[in-house]
């Protein structure tokens, strides 16, 4: 079975541009979460979606948005990119949303570099 | 607020020996879960072991075990018979029951010396 897949794997953008990152959860998983991992730090929670609804939002500006599609895949959008948005963006899926106490399954991430 | 602290930025161990990675956490909740994740150079976060706070028995997964001290809010990971493939960043994380997010520590880079 395929794990959590993310695309693209690497991306270089210019300040002020926007970017869309994509994630496909494990088959049967209905919850997708997004995390930002700045170099040398632990991941920080951005969003969680469950059954196509936003169930949680971290402390990120409104430039960050996301959505979940009927097939449970998800997109993370970031507008007006700043140099500080350079990071590894991780997607994680779980079967349930708020009951994800079995832990999440992560993808390999998208490395975003803003120049 | 939920916080997780890993005070060891780097650790190293000889192959086949045992190493312990430290983690402390803070939460006012009584129902929560704790995790150790491994992140190799491939970047994917891999779940190593999980612990339910309501269980007194320490979790074990093959060569990996935890020492969960609830009163001290400590959750250390012991790796026995270290192997070269264990080299990675290790992150401790907590999840409050009913919450939506994992809270991670800063990570510990583990090096295995042959």
Q: Among B3, B21, B24, B44, which would you mutate to test the A interface (most chain A Cβ atoms within 10 Å of its Cβ)? A: B44
Return the beta strands (E) in B45-107 as ranges: 46-52, 60-61, 64-69, 74-79, 88-96, 102-104
- Give the angle A68-A22-A61 at the CA atoms, nearest 5°: 75
Contact A42 B93 (CB under 8 A): yes
Q: What is the pLDDT of residues A27-86, one digit of tens each?
A: 888 899 999 999 999 999 999 998 889 989 999 999 999 999 999 999 999 999 999 999
Across the range B62-87, mean pLDDT stands at: 96
Query: What's the confidence (pLDDT) of residue B97?
Result: 77
B2 pLDDT more than 90: no
Chain B closest-CA separation from residue A27 CA (Å): 18
Interface of A to B at Cβ within 8 Å reads 3, 33, 35, 40-45, 48, 55-56, 58, 88, 90, 92, 97-109, 111
């Amino acid at each position: 079975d395929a794990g959590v897949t993310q695309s693209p794997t690497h991306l270089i953008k210019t300040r002020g541009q926007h970017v869309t990152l994509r994630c496909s959860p494990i088959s049967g998983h209905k919850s997708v979460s997004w995390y930002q991992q700045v170099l040398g730090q632990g991941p920080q929670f951005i969003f969680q979606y469950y059954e196509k609804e936003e169930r949680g939002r971290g402390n990120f500006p409104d430039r960050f948005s996301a959505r979940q599609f009927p097939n449970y895949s998800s997109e993370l959008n970031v507008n007006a990119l700043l140099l500080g948005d350079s990071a590894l963006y991780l997607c994680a899926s779980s079967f349930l949303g708020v009951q994800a106490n079995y832990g999440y399954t992560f993808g390999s991430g998208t490395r975003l570099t803003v120049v | 607020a939920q916080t997780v602290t890993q005070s060891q930025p780097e650790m190293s161990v000889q192959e086949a020996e045992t190493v312990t990675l430290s983690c402390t956490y803070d939460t006012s909740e009584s129902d929560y879960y704790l995790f150790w994740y491994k992140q190799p150079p491939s970047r994917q976060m891999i779940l190593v072991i999980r612990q339910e706070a309501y269980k007194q028995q320490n979790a074990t997964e093959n060569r990996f075990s935890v020492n969960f001290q609830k009163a001290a809010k400590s959750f250390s990971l012991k790796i026995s018979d270290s192997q070269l493939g264990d080299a990675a960043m290790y992150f401790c994380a907590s999840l409050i029951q009913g919450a939506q997010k994992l809270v991670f520590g800063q990570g510990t880079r583990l090096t295995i010396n042959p």
